[in-house]
C-alpha cells in the first residue's frame, strides 16, 4: 500500500530484500515443535483478551498447535480409510484423532495423538454433507458442517425459526441420512461488507471491505465484495487494482490484481494492537486451534476454530466448504485475514453478532483460493 506508519515502513524495508509487490495412559508425547520466532507481546495480549489466557498459556498453546498441525498430517495418512477427523483439545494441548477401526489406534497414538473410536469415517460424513448441499435450505437454517467431535453432520438452525414448517421439513429431510444432528444458533449469518467510511480499507463502488493476503501480483479477498472487472480504490481513493476473478455465492473468494504504485508484502496489519504480522505459509490449523483475524473495522480479534467444511446459508445463497470460528467481526471486515500463528488460514466472509456482544464468523480457506486462481501466496 502507499501509506506507511513507522512500523509498517520498517517492516516493508526488511521485506524489500525478498521482492516487491489430559492425555491417555501410555500415549506418546507430542513431538517437539520446530523452532519459531517468539510470539509478540501484542499477539499474546490479544489472545489473553479474547481467549482468557495468560501470556505463558498463550505461548504454550501456540507451540502445541503448531505441533498438532504436523501430527494431523501423519495421522491422516496412517489411518487411511479409518480416519474419522481430528481436533485440537485445548485442555490437554494434544490433537485428538477419530478412527473407525480399533486396530488403527495404537499406530495413531504412536504419532503423538490421542484417539477416539467412532462409527462414521470422515469420508462418509463428507458424503452425507454433500447430499445436504443438494437441498434448498430456508432462511431459518443457518448452515451445516461436518463435526468430528460429535462424529456427525451438524445442522445449525436459528433458534427463533426452529419450529417453522420450512425449517422442520428441511431438518426431517436432513435426518433421513442418519448421521445428522441439529444445533441452535442465535442469529442467521450475514456478510460483512459495509458502506464507505474512513479507515484503512479498499473500496469497490460504495462498498468497503478488507484485504486478505498478498499474492504475487495482487491480493485475495471475499467474493461478495466485488465482481470480476470491478475497479478497486485504495484507502486514499486512488486507483488500486481490478477484480480479476470473483465467486459468490457458492464460494466467497476473489482475486484483485494491483496497479503500478502499489506493492505486495507478506504482512497482516496489527492495527497498533500488536505488531504487524509476517505470513510464512498456509498450513491448515485443526478444529479447536486458536485463530486471529485482522479487518478494517474491528482490527485484531482472536478466538478458536469451531468447525470446517460448513455450508453457510446466507440470504444471497449457500456458500460451501467454509470454516467457522468464535472470532467476532463487523461490517467492513469482509475479506480480511485469518491467521493461526504465522500461517494464513483464509479470508473473512460473514457471520452473526458483533464485537460488543460476541458472535461467530466464517472464513473461506486460503488454499482453495490459491488453487482456484493459480496464485502463489507472498510469504516471508
- The CA distances from residue 213 to 128, 235, 246, 256, 305, in Å, are 32, 16, 15, 11, 19
User: Residues 120, 145, 224, 378: which is the catalytic one?
Assistant: 224
Measured from the Cβ of residue 98, the count of other Cβ atoms closer than 10 Å reads 25
Cα(37)–Cα(14) distance, integer angstroms: 16
Residue 259 is among the residues annotated as catalytic for this protein:
no
- 56: Cα separation from own chain's centroid: 24
3 state SS of 71: helix
Measured from the Cβ of residue 42, the count of other Cβ atoms closer than 10 Å reads 17
Q: What are phi and psi for residue 165, nearest 5 degrees?
A: -55, -40
With 0-12 / 13-18 / 19 or more C-beta atoms within 10 angstroms meaning exposed / middle / buried, residue 232 is buried
Write the CB contacts of 133 (distance below 8 Å, at least 6 apart in sequence). 311, 318, 320
Q: What are phi and psi for residue 372, nearest 5 degrees?
A: -65, -40
Residue 357 is among the residues annotated as catalytic for this protein:
no
Grid cell locating 177 = 441420512
User: Residues 156, 252, 276, 333: which is the catalytic one?
Assistant: 252
**H-only helix segments in the chain:** 6-15, 41-51, 55-79, 105-110, 122-132, 165-175, 366-373
Cα(178)–Cα(37) distance, integer angstroms: 46
Write the CB contacts of 77 (distance below 8 Å, at least 6 apart in sequence). none
> Which of 318, 309, 252 lies closest to 286 in space, CA to CA?
309
Grid cell locating 342 = 504465522
Q: Please, what sign has the CA dihedral across residues 304, 360, 354, 272?
A: positive
Residue 252 is among the residues annotated as catalytic for this protein:
yes
User: Residues 246, 334, 337, 340: which is the catalytic one?
Assistant: 334
Catalytic center residues: 224, 252, 334
Amino acid at each position: 500500500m502507499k501509506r506507511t506508519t513507522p512500523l509498517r515502513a520498517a517492516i516493508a524495508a526488511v521485506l524489500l530484500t525478498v521482492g516487491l509487490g489430559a492425555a491417555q495412559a501410555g500415549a506418546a508425547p507430542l513431538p517437539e515443535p520446530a523452532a519459531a520466532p517468539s510470539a509478540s507481546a501484542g499477539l499474546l495480549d490479544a489472545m489473553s483478551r479474547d481467549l482468557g489466557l495468560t501470556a505463558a498459556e498463550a505461548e504454550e498453546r501456540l507451540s502445541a498447535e503448531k505441533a498438532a498441525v504436523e501430527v494431523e498430517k501423519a495421522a491422516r495418512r496412517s489411518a487411511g480409510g479409518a480416519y474419522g477427523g481430528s481436533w485440537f483439545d485445548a485442555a490437554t494441548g494434544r490433537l485428538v484423532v477419530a478412527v473407525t477401526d480399533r486396530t488403527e489406534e495404537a499406530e495413531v497414538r504412536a504419532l503423538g495423538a490421542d484417539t477416539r473410536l467412532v462409527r462414521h469415517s470422515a469420508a462418509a460424513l463428507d458424503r452425507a454433507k454433500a447430499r445436504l448441499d443438494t437441498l434448498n435450505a430456508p432462511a431459518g437454517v443457518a448452515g451445516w458442517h461436518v463435526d468430528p467431535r460429535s462424529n456427525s453432520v451438524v445442522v445449525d438452525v436459528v433458534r427463533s425459526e426452529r419450529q417453522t414448517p420450512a425449517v422442520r421439513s428441511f431438518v426431517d429431510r436432513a435426518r433421513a441420512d442418519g448421521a445428522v444432528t441439529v444445533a441452535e444458533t442465535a442469529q442467521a449469518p450475514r456478510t460483512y461488507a459495509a458502506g464507505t467510511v474512513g479507515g484503512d480499507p479498499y473500496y469497490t463502488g460504495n462498498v468497503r471491505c478488507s484485504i486478505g493476503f498478498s499474492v504475487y501480483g495482487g491480493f485475495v479477498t471475499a467474493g461478495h465484495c466485488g465482481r470480476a472487472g470491478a475497479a478497486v480504490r485504495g484507502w486514499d481513493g486512488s486507483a488500486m487494482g481490478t477484480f480479476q476473478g470473483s465467486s459468490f455465492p457458492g464460494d466467497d473468494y476473489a482475486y484483485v490484481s494491483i496497479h503500478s504504485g502499489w506493492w505486495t508484502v507478506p504482512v497482516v496489519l496489527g492495527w497498533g494492537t500488536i505488531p504487524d504480522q509476517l505470513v510464512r505459509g498456509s498450513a491448515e490449523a485443526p478444529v479447536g486451534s486458536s485463530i486471529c483475524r485482522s479487518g478494517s473495522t474491528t482490527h485484531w480479534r482472536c478466538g478458536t476454530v469451531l468447525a470446517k467444511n460448513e455450508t453457510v446459508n446466507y440470504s444471497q445463497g449457500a456458500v460451501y466448504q467454509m470454516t467457522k470460528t468464535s472470532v467476532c467481526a463487523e461490517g467492513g471486515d469482509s475479506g480480511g485475514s485469518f491467521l493461526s500463528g504465522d500461517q494464513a488460514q483464509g479470508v473473512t466472509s460473514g457471520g452473526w453478532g458483533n464485537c460488543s456482544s460476541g458472535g461467530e464468523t466464517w472464513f473461506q480457506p486460503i488454499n482453495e483460493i490459491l488453487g482456484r486462481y493459480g496464485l502463489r501466496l507472498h510469504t516471508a
